[in-house]
Amino acid sequence: MAFTTWLALAAICIMGAISPGPSLALIMRNTVRGGRWHGMATGLGHGLGVGLYALIAAYGLALLLTTTPWLFQLVQYAGAGFLAWLGVRGLLAKPSQGPAQEHADGENRSRHLGALEGFAVAFLNPQLAIFFVALFSQFVHANTDWPEALLMMLTAGGIDALWYSLVAIGLSHGPVLAWLRAKSLLIERLSALVLLGIAAKIVL
């Protein structure tokens, strides 16, 4: 792949990564609740999910998902169910018992769970398949080999993971995080409503 072609691919991936949606709400929630590393783990998991979609799209397998209505709907409804579960859990969250307790709770939250949530939000979003099929139709050709497909995967997944990791780092700075944690219950509720709204939009 020529360098100028890769730059065009990277630019489109950047625009896709920074678009607001359920992923941003999840990163914000997990960073506020669990701190920088929890937010970054969520971002890395999300990047892995995006990269995996990019890889299967580069090999044409995502076309199967986009042209098989029942399979597409199955993944779509599974994603909606997962977003709804996250939303309900957010609405049922209890107020923190103070900064010390909240910090302790954040430290105890599993980073593996954050990474799993990030991956699930990305991989259970079949719209990504449509995005990558449309995008890679401009870059994939009959002679595309596995190193080139791997480069596409690393570009899409790496940019996504880097962006959300930067968001987590930005949100986790001392004064910013302290203010966000003071408003943690409000952020939890708003994030939950966003996730529930997106889930409802998917199924309705």
For every one of its 204 residues, what pLDDT tens digit does the chain have, with 9 covering 90 and above?
A: 778 888 988 998 998 888 877 888 889 888 888 888 899 999 999 999 999 888 888 777 656 666 778 877 887 888 888 888 888 877 876 665 544 444 445 454 567 888 999 999 998 887 787 788 777 777 776 666 788 888 989 999 999 999 999 999 988 887 877 777 777 777 778 878 887 887 888 777
SS3 assignment, position 171: helix
Yes or no: say if 24 and 171 are a contact pair by the CB < 8 Å rule: no
Positive or negative torsion for Cα 41, 43, 118, 146 = negative
Helix axes 99-108, 174-182, angle to 10 degrees: 100
Residue with tokens 């709770």: 105
Rounded Cα distance between 105 and 21, Å, is 26
The pLDDT value recorded for residue 99 is 46
Rounded Cα distance between 143 and 148, Å, is 10
Yes or no: say if 123 and 74 are a contact pair by the CB < 8 Å rule: no
Rounded Cα distance between 79 and 23, Å, is 12
The pLDDT value recorded for residue 101 is 46
The pLDDT value recorded for residue 94 is 67
**DSSP class of residue 87?**
H
Helices and strands (H and E) in the chain: how many: 11, 0
Rounded Cα distance between 135 and 125, Å, is 16
SS3 assignment, position 42: helix
**DSSP class of residue 188?**
H
**DSSP class of residue 173?**
S
